[in-house]
Chain A
Amino acid sequence: MTDTRSADELASSAPDTSNNRDIILQIDKVTKHFDSAYACDDISLSIHRGEFFSLLGASGCGKTTLLRILAGFETPTSGRVLIDGVDVTNVPPYQRPVNMMFQSFALFPHMSVIDNIAFGLKQEAISKAERNDRVREMMSLVQIEKLAGRKPHQLSGGQRQRVALARALAKHPKLLLLDEPLGALDKKLREQTQFELINLQQRLGITFIMVTHDQEEAMTMSSRIALMHEGRVEQVDTPRRIYEFPATRYAAGFIGLVNLFQGVVVSHENDQVLIECEELPGQLLVHHSQPLAVGMDVSVALRPEKIRVLPGNDNQPNRVNAVIKDIAYLGDVSIYHAEVASGKRIKFTLPNVQALAEQPLTWEQEVTLGWQGDSCGVLTL
């Protein structure tokens, strides 16, 4: 990995409150297959105390199965799960120090809000007074004191989400598992709830593990993300590093927009790789510190916002002439699709700085695009 930048620069958007040496959850070579299909394939992860960790992936990638293994609803075919150093692989769900917030919220329809929240505590040997205190504390934590006597069917989606959260937190679990926690909410409410969840997590210091298919949600909320694909972990990293330095082609393509160029390594000196691409007339000069063999097939990933429109082409590396073919106006930015001589299309974005100005570029306009050598990444997988 290219790693010459300062640690500060790479810090995630959500502050990491974890103590890196303190591992609360260890997933050790966990494999799960249903009949012959692999849902999880040799997954190993270490999650630190106090982290907000996300399992991100498209549907069917095994993220939910992994979460269910952590909760104890599925037993792995092989491998171990350790919580706080204790092997819980074969411990039933009702004896694990773990609670889960379900995608459907799974509120008990025949119980009031207060009984839903108290349910977990009733399974423990604690006094009634203490139980009532804990329930009241949870209700004020998520601001639902006024809903105490209501039944779930009398609540809105957002209120149900809060009750489910309070119920899962009431037992002070070591891990809180969240299965698509915001999936059932509409967009506006989702954005607001994202920040509430982050604040809550930091206030309580409980380790959150969230499953989501929404990359934006994962980026906003997580201290680290494990990107999963076909039962395997593609990359585990902070949101910023996953975006800026994807480890694989899949990771680059899954999160955000990306231009991928296939090429061959021509030379590699002083951390500068020269790459010859069939699709591009010029060569690519990319900053890369890991060893690469000359003649090796690689991909270069380039994010659309890293590309600049330059005044003229002086035939240097990382420059290319192209013709604008498509423009998508998104409000804050516009996405341009420019075609180079080989027919390859390059996506780039420009912010719409002035409200009344015409588009800075128009259809069929010839432009020169350029980018910095340290703005793109070399992918070998």
Chain B
Amino acid sequence: MRKRSTFLLTAMIMGYAFLYIPIFSLVAYSFNESRLVTVWSGFSTKWYAALLENDALLDAAWLSIKVAAINASCAIVLGTLAALALVKLKGKRGTRSLGVMVTAPLVMPEVITGLSLLLLFVAMETMLGWPAGRGQTTIILAHVTFSMAYVTVIVQSRLANMDQSLEEAAMDLGAKPLKVFFAITLPIISPALIAGWLLAFTLSMDDLVVANFVSGPGATTLPMVVYSSVRLGVSPQINALATIMISVVAIAVLIGGIITWRQEKRNTQRH
């Protein structure tokens, strides 16, 4: 028994080490004094200061945050609408295949998504004159396309678990359908909306492949800058930037976790 628990403990430590050592080394080297990424020569925060003066990097970061936020907000609206339709029309003819189709972007290779969107945008520009050129707008459109699928899946599962009689009760008490949605449905599924928003934000911040296909001159997202600068040699500035991003993501995940945990606690208390 004791031997087994030692084995499990070792396995667990190994697993976490495998996941987190690269991240910790990255964070540690962001405080390295040396210019060379692999040689430790003392503690310093100078790369953080240098980062603040690197306009290209800061512009890209700002663009990425902007794209991610707009993307997440659009994806939430569209994804929720899709989820509502799928849940409310459940059992009607054709909704099963629609449900499968909406999740297709989850498994589609990014290269294909990126290429097909690029071709679409070019064709649209020729035929409709919009979107004129490629840049921020096309990146947002492309990101919404796949983020929406994730949001749909998350919101759909929350809606399916919601007691249908809650909406009926509200309607029975005199609330019109739109009022029912905003007063009852929306507050109840709000944890899923927050989780979906955070996920869509992260997916957009993270994306390199699709953005590379559909962006144009003047619209360079953070992953694109990082990727191209790494090709010219890794600067410790990238480490500093990565550390900041990891902190932001960690905080977001923590908030998401707390929301889910509180929701679950409430659910278990109820039953």
Chain A residues in the interface with B (C-beta under 8 A) = 71-73, 92-95, 98-100, 102-104, 106, 108-110, 119-120, 123-124, 152-154, 167-168, 171
Knowing A152-B270, A153-B270 touch, does A120 contact B165 (C-beta < 8 A)? Answer: no
Expressed in whole angstroms, the Cα–Cα distance for A93 and B179 within the complex equals 13
The answer to the question of B176 belonging to the interface, with a C-beta cut-off of 8 Å to chain A, is yes
**B270–A123 contact, CB under 8 A?**
no
- Taking a contact as CB atoms under 8 Å apart, the answer to whether B174 and A106 are in contact is no
Partner of A99, one of B163, B172, B188: B172
Residues from chain B with Cβ under 8 Å of A103 in the complex:
165
With A123-B173, A154-B269 known, 8 other A-B pairs at CB within 8 A are: A73-B171, A93-B172, A94-B173, A99-B173, A106-B169, A108-B188, A109-B166, A120-B173
Task: Evaluate contact between B179 and A123: CB separation under 8 angstroms.
Answer: yes
Nearest Cβ in chain A — how far from B266, in angstroms? 5
Are A167 and B173 interface neighbours, CB within 8 A? yes
Give the CA-CA distance A109 to B169 in the complex, in Å. 12
Which residue from B165, B174, B176, B266 sits with its C-beta under 8 Å from A153? B266
Q: B259 within 8 Å of A by Cβ?
A: no
Query: Is the pair A109, B188 in contact by a Cβ cutoff of 8 Å?
Result: yes
Partner of B165, one of A102, A110, A168: A102
B216 at the interface (CB under 8 A from A): no
B187 within 8 A of A: yes
Residues of B whose CB lies within 8 Å of any CB of A are 163, 165-166, 168-176, 179, 183-184, 187-188, 266, 269-270
Least CB distance from A27 to B in Å reads 18
Contacts A/B (CB < 8 Å), 13 sampled: A71-B172, A73-B171, A92-B171, A99-B172, A102-B168, A106-B168, A108-B169, A108-B184, A109-B188, A120-B174, A124-B174, A167-B169, A168-B172
Contact across chains for B270 and A106 when beta carbons are under 8 A apart? no
Contacts known (A93-B168, A106-B168, A108-B166); A123 close to B174, Cβ less than 8 A: yes
Which residue of B176, B188, B269, B270 is within 8 Å of A110 (Cβ)? Answer: B188
CB distance from B151 to the nearest CB of A (A): 21
A102 cross-chain contacts in B, Cβ below 8 A: 165, 168-169
* Residue in B165, B176, B179 whose beta carbon sits within 8 Å of that of A106 in the complex: B165
Q: How far is the CB of A230 from chain B (nearest CB, A)?
A: 23
Chain A residues near B169 (CB-CB < 8 A): 100, 102, 106, 108, 167
Across the A-B interface, give the 3 residue pairs with the lowest CB-CB distance, nearest first: A120-B173, A123-B174, A106-B169
- Neighbouring B residues of A167 by C-beta, 8 Å: 169, 173
Given known A106-B165, A108-B184, A119-B170, contact A94–B176 (CB-CB < 8 A): yes
Chain B hits for A94, CB < 8 A: 171-176
Number of cross-chain contacts by CB at 8 Å:
65
What's the minimum C-beta distance from A176 to chain B, rounded to whole angstroms?
A: 11
| Other-chain residue from A73, A93, A106, A153 in contact with B166 (beta carbon distance below 8 A) | A106
Q: How far is the CB of A277 from chain B (nearest CB, A)?
A: 49
Tell me the complex Cα distance, A108–B166, Å: 6
B interface secondary structure, majority: helix
Collect the chain A residues with CB atoms within 8 Å of residue B174's CB. Answer: 94-95, 120, 123-124, 171
Q: Contacts A93-B168, A153-B270 given; indicate if A106 touches B175 (C-beta within 8 A).
A: no
For the complex formed, measure the closest distance between the CB of B41 and the CB atoms of chain A, giving whole angstroms: 55
Contacts of B173 in A (CB 8 A): 94, 99, 119-120, 123, 167, 171
Task: Give the residues in chain B near A106, CB-CB below 8 Å.
Answer: 163, 165-166, 168-169
Question: Which residues does chain B contribute within 8 Å of A123, judged by CB atoms?
Answer: 173-175, 179
Cα-based distance from A262 to B207 in the complex (angstroms):
79
Minimum C-beta distance from A381 to chain B (A): 36
Nearest to A68 among chain B residues (CB) is B168
Cα(A108)–Cα(B187), bound, Å: 10
CA distance in complex: A106, B173 (Å): 12
Report Cα–Cα, A106/B270, bound state, in Å.
12
Residues from chain A with Cβ under 8 Å of B165 in the complex:
102-104, 106
**Residues from chain B with Cβ under 8 Å of A153 in the complex:** 266, 269-270
CB-CB < 8 A to A99: which residues of B? 172-173
Cα–Cα, bound, A94→B270 (Å):
28
Instruction: Report the minimum CB–CB distance from B44 to chain A (whole Å).
Output: 49
Q: How far is the CA of A73 from the CA of B170 in the complex (A)?
A: 12
Task: List B contacts of A71 (CB < 8 A).
Answer: 168, 172
Q: Which B residues lie within 8 Å of A171 (CB)?
A: 173-174
Assembled-state Cα–Cα distance A124/B176 (Å): 12
Report the separation of the CA atoms of residues A123 and B182 in the bound assembly, to the nearest whole angstrom: 13
Taken together as a complex, chains A and B put the C-alpha atoms of A123 and B155 apart, in Å, by 27
CB of A71 to closest CB in B, whole Å: 6
Q: Complex Cα distance A118/B184, Å?
A: 14
Closest chain B CB from A335 CB (angstroms): 37
Kindly list chain B residues whose C-beta atoms are within 8 Å of the C-beta of A72.
Answer: 172
Closest to A96 in B: B172
A110 adjacent to B171 (CB under 8 Å): no
Minimal beta-carbon separation of A209 from chain B (angstroms) = 14
Contact A108 to B170, CB < 8 A, known contacts A102-B165, A153-B269, A153-B270? yes
Complex Cα–Cα for A119 and B173 (A): 7
Specify the chain B residue showing the minimal Cβ separation from A98. B172
Q: How far is the CA of A92 from the CA of B173 in the complex (A)?
A: 11
In the assembled complex, the Cα of A72 lies from the Cα of B169 at a distance in Å of 11
Assembled-state Cα–Cα distance A100/B168 (Å): 9
- Smallest CB–CB gap between B261 and chain A, Å? 15
Could you tell me the distance between the alpha carbons of A92 and B178 in the complex, rounded to whole angstroms? 14
Distance in angstroms between the alpha carbons of A106 and B184 in the assembled complex = 11
| Distance from B160 Cβ to chain A, minimum over Cβ atoms (Å) | 16
Inter-chain contact B172/A109, CB cutoff 8 Å = no
Instruction: List the A side residues contacting B270 at CB < 8 Å.
Output: 109, 152-153
Residue of A nearest to B166 (CB): A106
